Structure 1
Amino acid sequence: MQIDWTTFALEIVNFLALLWILKRFLYRPVLDVLARRRAEVERVRAEGEAAKAQAQALRQQYEARLADWEKEKAGLRAAFDAELAAERERQLKALQKSLADERARQAAQESHRQAELQGALEARAIRQAATFAARLLQRLADPALETRLLDLLIEDLAQLPAAQREGLRLAAREASEANAPARVVSAHALSEDSRKRLAAALAERLGTPLPLAFAEDGSLIAGLRIVIGPWQIKADLADELAFFAAGAEGPSAHGG
């Protein structure tokens, strides 16, 4: 077989031209496309890595926040438990104080009731004693006892406190100026001598003579009362029994 070198050369030229054309118009664009594709893949991979790193960071942040929340929740629970225990203790102390106050109140009421009962019993005993004494003294009362009580009253006039003595003197002057007699009430009729001694003692102690109006009142049992204005001088058994049973009364000078 004979080779046609001209044709062979042209074929080589055509082949080289084809390679140049393929390289210029096909291979280079393909390489460019591949390069761009590779760059895009790298970009996507880089973005994926960045997203993965960001997700990892977010996951770590979430776990850290979750751990912080657990710590905060544990702290809040501990604080709540402590506050609940303190409130329970406070309520228990308040309940104990309330119970103690209630017991004290009941004890005070019971003590007051006992005191009232004791007072009532004592008052009843005093009334019974006063009644018994009154009956006994009524049997013992006589003019001689009344004379003795008059003597005691005259003695007590000299021992009156200064304030009472001054008040009686003022009342006596007012009664004397108004010509109002002092009332002398006795359980039994006084003898003339007793009346004179009483008038003289009053004039001496009060600094002015007083007209006296005499009267009898058997309820006094024995003794007498002298009324000068708002003042009373008492030395009678009925008054002593009343004082024994219920205490003193009004502005008065008490003798005997």
Structure 2
Amino acid sequence: MEVSWSTFVLEIINFLVLVWILKHFLYRPVLDVIARRRAAIDRSLSEAETMKTEAADMRRQYEGRLEAWEQERQAARETLNSEMETKRREGLQKLDAELSTARQRAEVADARHLAEAERSMEVTALQQGAAFAARLLRQGAGPDTQKRLVQLLIDELGSLPANTVAAIRHQYGDTPDGAVIHSAFILEDEQRAALERALHETLLPDGTALHHELDSSLLAGVRITVGDWQLGANVQDELRGFAELARHE
């Protein structure tokens, strides 16, 4: 078999042309497509990695938020428990204070009622005692009672302190015109002289005129009047004192 070199050369040329055509019109576009696909895949992988990273970041943020929210919830729970405990203590303290106030009021009310009851009993006893004393004084009033009352007045005049004497003199003035001695019964001369002497030595200036008058309403004893000032040592004034004391109480 003879080899045709011209044919061989033509085949080689055809093959080279075919290779050029394939490389120019087929292989290069395929490579471009493959390159674009690879670039797309790389972009997809990059985006996927980015998304993965973002997802991991979001997960960490979410976990951080969950942890922060749990801490906030725990803090809020503790704050609420603390406030509730504070409110409970305040409520108990307020209740204790109200109960203490109520007990104190009840004790004060009980003490007041007891004091009022005791006071009422004391007033009743005082009124009864005043009435009894008044009956005794009225029944026992007489010349002997007056004699003892006058002597008691004379003794008291002799023992008056200086400041008391000055206060009494200041009440009726420096120069009285005179004094009136009212008595339930006529005074004996000796007792009259002793009473006048005691008055001049203690309360009345020398030379003050003394007038004696009878007043049976005194029951027994005397009442000395100097202007608007009076000094009593008689049953009537004592009875009036009892009555006023009982009425006041």
**Partner Cα distance (1:67, 1:225) in 2:** 104
Q: Which residue of 2 aligns with 1:201?
A: 198
Q: Which moved more, 1:238-247 or 1:91-100?
A: 238-247
What are the equivalent positions in structure 2 for 1:42-81 lying under 5 Å apart?
A: 42-81=42-81
How far apart, in 1, do the equivalents of 2:203 and 2:80 lie?
86
Question: How many angstroms apart in 2 are the aligned matches of 1:59 and 1:230?
Answer: 110
Structure 1 contact 175–228 (Cα < 8 Å) conserved = no
One-letter identity of the residue aligned with 2:151: D
- For 2:38, the equivalent position in structure 1 comes to 38
Which amino acid counterpart does residue 97 of structure 1 have in structure 2?
A
Kindly indicate whether residue 156 of structure 2 is the aligned counterpart of residue 159 of structure 1: no
Instruction: State the number of aligned residues.
Output: 245
How far apart are 1:235 and its partner, in Å?
2.1
The structure-2 alpha-carbon separation of the partners of 1:108 and 1:31, relative to structure 1 and needing over 3 Å to count, comes to same
What does residue range 94-173 of structure 1 map to in structure 2 within 5 Å? 94-173=94-173
Alpha-carbon distance between aligned partners in 2 of 1:73 and 1:182, rounded to the nearest angstrom: 100
AA aligned to 2:113 is R
Rounded to whole Å, the distance in 1 between the matches of 2:204 and 2:237 is 27
Closer/same/farther in 2, CA of residues 215 and 52 from structure 1, 3 Å limit: farther
Whether the 8 Å CA contact 2:179–2:211 is kept in 1: the answer is: yes
CA distance 1:115–1:30, change in 2 (3 Å): same
Unpaired segments of 5 or more residues in structure 1? Answer: 248-256
Deviation track 1:17-51 (CA, whole Å, cap 9, x = no partner) reads: 12112213431232123112212211221121111
1:228 maps to what in 2?
A: 226
Q: Which is further off, 46-55 or 23-32?
A: 23-32
Segments ≥4 residues shifted beyond 6 Å: none
| Preserved contact between residue 171 and residue 229 of structure 1 (Cα < 8 Å) | no
CA distance in 2 between partners of 1:17 and 1:78 (Å): 87
**CA shift for structure 1 position 226:** 2.3
SS of 1:174's partner is coil
- Calculate percent identity across the aligned residue pairs: 42
Other structure's SS at 2:174 match: helix
C-alpha distance in structure 1 between counterparts of 2:182 and 2:25, whole Å = 162
Any gaps of 5 or more consecutive residues in structure 2?
Answer: none
Deviation at 1:102? 1.0
Report the CA distance between 1:121 and its aligned residue.
1.3
Q: Which moved more, 1:94-103 or 1:236-245?
A: 236-245
Kindly provide the amino acid, as one letter, of the partner of residue 48 in structure 1: A
Asked whether the 8 Å contact 2:172–2:228 carries over to 1, the reply is: no
Asked if the contact 1:187/1:224 (under 8 Å) is kept, the reply is yes
Contact 2:138 2:235 in 1 (8 A): no
**TM-score normalised to the size of structure 1?**
0.83
Distance verdict in 2 for CA 1:45–1:187, change over 3 Å? farther
Q: CA deviation at 1:92?
A: 1.2
* Cα offsets for 1:49-89 (capped at 9, x unmatched): 11111111211221122122112211221221122122112
How far has the Cα of 1:213 moved from its partner? Answer: 4.3
Query: In the superposition, relative to structure 1, how do residues 116 and 82 fare at CA in structure 2: closer, same or farther (>3 Å)?
Result: same
Note if contact 1:225-1:235 (Cα within 8 Å) is conserved in structure 2. yes
Q: Deviations over 1:139-198 (max 9, x none)?
A: 11111211111111111112223322102233455352xx2x334333334345443332
